[in-house]
Amino acid sequence: MSRTVRITYFVHGTTTDNEQGLASGWKDCGLSELGRKQSRELRDQTRDKKFDVVFCSDLKRAVESAEITWKNIYPIVRDNRLRECNYGDLNGADAEKVDSLAYKSIDKPFPNGESYMVVEERIREFLEDLLNMYAGKHVAIVAHKAPQLALDVILNGKSWEQAMKEDWRLKAPKEWKPGWDYALQTKD
């Protein structure tokens, strides 16, 4: 018997740090006015979708995006496993500097932070819980870049190098996109 959870993944709206070219990591910044507008527009863009629950990172920018979009429409559950990669000493640093260390940080942590493999471990644990509690359901997730890349690794069979190389943000670094669909399944 196959159990499946449909996932629609959303990256939080544009933040004040994004607009300044900073990589927030675990720095708890909020949405910019553009990010709040994107979140309001997302409500209309997803009007034809039906979610059973919305999960979001516990960082302010993801919570704010989820609440602006779906408060009083769907239950919203905060989960710290959906946090962005902890860039350690580079939380809130120049995004180009953080990006230049991305490939080196796949299995070696950022200084006083974590590696992308640690993010993958967090997301694997989250997905296991999701499958146990929401089989047959459609969930939305509002989080960050690293957890999305981890889903590409886990659910789409990509290597971290491939996920990073094919990341849509490289083609449109100042753009924001409204969602990706994934299927989480297992056979009993």
HSE value, Cβ hemisphere, 13 Å, CA-based, for 46: 27
Mean pLDDT score of the chain: 93
For the chain, domain boundaries: 2-187
DSSP character at residue 15? B
pLDDT at 187: 58
- Edge-first strand listing for the sheet containing 138-143: 76-78, 53-56, 138-143, 2-11, 180-187
Would you state the structure tokens that stand for residue 23, as one six-digit string? 């990589």
- Condensed to tens digits (0 to 9), the pLDDT of residues 144-168 reads 999 999 999 999 999 999 999 998 7
CATH for 2-187 is 3.40.50.1240
**Looking at the predicted structure, is the pLDDT value of residue 104 above 70?**
yes
